[in-house]
Amino acid sequence: MPTEGPRARPVERLERPLDENAETRLHRELERTWYVPRGVVGWLSVVDHRTVGKRYIATAFGFFIFAGILAALMRIQLAVPDNHFLGPDLYNQIFTTHGTMMMFLFAVPVMEALGVYLVPLMVGARNIAFPRLNAYSYYLFLFGGLMLTTTMLVNSAPDAGWFSYVPLAGPDYTPGKRSDFWAQMITFTEVSALAVAVELVATIFKCRAPGMTLNRLPLFVWSMLVTSFMVIFSMPAVVTSSTFLLLDRLVGTHFYNPAEGGDALLWQHLFWFFGHPEVYIIFVPALGIISSIITTFTQRPVFGYTALAMSVVTTGFLGFAVWVHHMFATGLPQLGLSYFTAASIVISIPTGVQIFCWIASLWRGRPRYPAPMLFVLGFFAIFIVGGLSGVTLASIPFDLQVHDTYYVVAHFHYVLIGGAVFPLIGGIYYWFPKMTGRMTDDALGKLNFWVLFVGFNLTFFPMHILGFQGMPRRIYTYPSEMGWGTLNLLASGGAVLLVVGGVLFVYNVVRSYVAGEVAADNPWNADTLEWGTASPPPVYNFLHIPIVEGRNALWDRSVDAPVVTGIRSDCREVLITEVLDAAPSNKTEFPGPSIWPFLASVVTTAFFIGSIFTPWALPVSVIPIAVTLIGWFWPKSPEKDAPGARKSTELREARA
**417 class by beta-carbon count within 10 Å (0-12 exposed, 13-18 middle, 19+ buried):** buried
Q: Which residues are within 8 A (CB) of 39 and not within 5 positions of it... i.e. 6 or more apart?
A: none
Spatial separation of the C-alpha atoms in residues 433 and 367, rounded to whole Å: 20
> CB of 260: closest distance to other proteins in angstroms?
4
Q: Which of residues 228-257 bind other proteins (CB under 8 A)?
A: 232-233, 235-237, 239-240, 243-244, 247, 251-255, 257
Q: Under the criterion CB under 8 A, does residue 395 sit at the interface with other proteins?
A: yes
Q: What binding mask, one character per residue, do residues 487-526 give for other proteins by CB under 8 A, x or -?
A: ----------------------------------------
> CB of 65: closest distance to other proteins in angstroms?
25
Query: Which lies closer to other proteins via its Cβ, residue 20 or residue 38?
Result: 20
Nearest CA to 29 out of 646, 567, 647 is that of 567
Query: Which lies closer to other proteins via its Cβ, residue 372 or residue 502?
Result: 372
- 3-class secondary structure, 362: helix
Q: Under the criterion CB under 8 A, does residue 198 sit at the interface with other proteins?
A: yes
Query: Which lies closer to other proteins via its Cβ, residue 286 or residue 547?
Result: 547
Q: Under the criterion CB under 8 A, does residue 161 sit at the interface with other proteins?
A: yes
Kindly state the number of chain residues that form the binding site for other proteins, as judged by CB under 8 A.
157
Contact status, residue 17 vs residue 656, Cβ threshold 8 Å: no
Q: Under the criterion CB under 8 A, does residue 397 sit at the interface with other proteins?
A: yes
Contact status, residue 308 vs residue 391, Cβ threshold 8 Å: no
Q: Which of residues 297-326 bind other proteins (CB under 8 A)?
A: 303-304, 307
> CB of 457: closest distance to other proteins in angstroms?
13
Torsion sign, CA atoms 56, 57, 60, 61: negative
Q: Under the criterion CB under 8 A, does residue 640 sit at the interface with other proteins?
A: yes
Q: Under the criterion CB under 8 A, does residue 335 sit at the interface with other proteins?
A: no
Q: Under the criterion CB under 8 A, does residue 561 sit at the interface with other proteins?
A: yes
Query: Which lies closer to other proteins via its Cβ, residue 5 or residue 39?
Result: 5
* Interface stretch with other proteins, choices 175-183, 346-354, 434-442, 507-515 (CB under 8 A): 346-354
Spatial separation of the C-alpha atoms in residues 103 and 109, rounded to whole Å: 9
Q: Under the criterion CB under 8 A, does residue 405 sit at the interface with other proteins?
A: yes
Q: Which of residues 259-278 bind other proteins (CB under 8 A)?
A: 259-266, 269-270
> CB of 644: closest distance to other proteins in angstroms?
9
Query: Which lies closer to other proteins via its Cβ, residue 499 or residue 585?
Result: 585
Q: What is the dihedral of CA 435, 436, 437, 440, to 10 degrees?
A: -100
Where does 34-129 have alpha helices with state H? Answer: 39-44, 49-78, 88-100, 108-123
Q: Which of 39, 514, 560, 650 binds other proteins (CB under 8 A)?
A: 560
Q: Under the criterion CB under 8 A, does residue 23 sit at the interface with other proteins?
A: no
Q: Under the criterion CB under 8 A, does residue 483 sit at the interface with other proteins?
A: yes
Q: Under the criterion CB under 8 A, does residue 377 sit at the interface with other proteins?
A: yes
The pair phi, psi for residue 570, each rounded to 5°, is -95, 0
Query: Which lies closer to other proteins via its Cβ, residue 507 or residue 633?
Result: 633
Query: Which lies closer to other proteins via its Cβ, residue 106 or residue 303?
Result: 303
Q: Under the criterion CB under 8 A, does residue 87 sit at the interface with other proteins?
A: yes
Q: Which of residues 533-552 bind other proteins (CB under 8 A)?
A: 547
Q: Under the criterion CB under 8 A, does residue 346 sit at the interface with other proteins?
A: yes
Q: Under the criterion CB under 8 A, does residue 641 sit at the interface with other proteins?
A: yes
Q: Under the criterion CB under 8 A, does residue 38 sit at the interface with other proteins?
A: no
Q: Under the criterion CB under 8 A, does residue 201 sit at the interface with other proteins?
A: yes
Contact status, residue 160 vs residue 177, Cβ threshold 8 Å: no
Nearest CA to 192 out of 247, 137, 145 is that of 137
> CB of 450: closest distance to other proteins in angstroms?
16
Chain centroid, CA 22 distance in Å: 39
Spatial separation of the C-alpha atoms in residues 35 and 83, rounded to whole Å: 56
Q: Which of 402, 487, 497, 582 binds other proteins (CB under 8 A)?
A: 402
> CB of 160: closest distance to other proteins in angstroms?
8
Q: Under the criterion CB under 8 A, does residue 388 sit at the interface with other proteins?
A: yes
> CB of 4: closest distance to other proteins in angstroms?
7
Contact status, residue 115 vs residue 200, Cβ threshold 8 Å: yes
Spatial separation of the C-alpha atoms in residues 122 and 139, rounded to whole Å: 25
- In degrees, rounded to 5, the angle at the alpha carbon of residue 390 between the alpha carbons of residues 92 and 316 is 100
Contact status, residue 221 vs residue 530, Cβ threshold 8 Å: no
Q: Under the criterion CB under 8 A, does residue 353 sit at the interface with other proteins?
A: yes
Report which DSSP code applies to 211: T
In one-letter notation, the amino acid at residue 102 is: M
Q: Which of 146, 391, 444, 539 binds other proteins (CB under 8 A)?
A: 391
> CB of 40: closest distance to other proteins in angstroms?
29
Q: Which of residues 562-621 bind other proteins (CB under 8 A)?
A: 562-568, 573, 575-576, 578-579, 584-589
Where does 365-468 have alpha helices with state H? Answer: 371-393, 396-402, 406-413, 422-436, 442-468
Spatial separation of the C-alpha atoms in residues 438 and 358, rounded to whole Å: 29
Q: Under the criterion CB under 8 A, does residue 348 sit at the interface with other proteins?
A: yes
The pair phi, psi for residue 181, each rounded to 5°, is -60, -40
- 3-class secondary structure, 115: helix
Q: Which of 482, 506, 510, 580 binds other proteins (CB under 8 A)?
A: 482
> CB of 342: closest distance to other proteins in angstroms?
7
Radius of gyration of the chain from its Cα atoms, rounded to whole angstroms: 26
Chain centroid, CA 403 distance in Å: 28
Spatial separation of the C-alpha atoms in residues 537 and 529, rounded to whole Å: 11
Q: Which of 36, 146, 202, 321 binds other proteins (CB under 8 A)?
A: 202
In one-letter notation, the amino acid at residue 45 is: S
Q: Under the criterion CB under 8 A, does residue 408 sit at the interface with other proteins?
A: no
> CB of 215: closest distance to other proteins in angstroms?
18
Q: Which of 26, 69, 80, 168 binds other proteins (CB under 8 A)?
A: 168
Q: Which of 37, 62, 437, 470 binds other proteins (CB under 8 A)?
A: 470
**116 class by beta-carbon count within 10 Å (0-12 exposed, 13-18 middle, 19+ buried):** buried
> CB of 117: closest distance to other proteins in angstroms?
20
Q: Which of 40, 331, 335, 515 binds other proteins (CB under 8 A)?
A: 331
400-406: long-range pairs with CB below 8 Å, 24+: 400/328, 400/329, 402/467, 402/468, 403/328, 403/329, 404/329, 404/472, 404/473, 404/474, 405/466, 405/467, 405/470, 405/471, 405/472, 405/473, 406/463, 406/464, 406/466, 406/467, 406/471, 406/472, 406/473
Q: Under the criterion CB under 8 A, does residue 10 sit at the interface with other proteins?
A: yes
Q: What is the dihedral of CA 407, 408, 411, 416, to 10 degrees?
A: -150
* Interface stretch with other proteins, choices 422-430, 510-518, 559-567, 592-600 (CB under 8 A): 559-567
Q: Which of residues 107-136 bind other proteins (CB under 8 A)?
A: 129-130, 133
Spatial separation of the C-alpha atoms in residues 572 and 589, rounded to whole Å: 5
> CB of 206: closest distance to other proteins in angstroms?
6
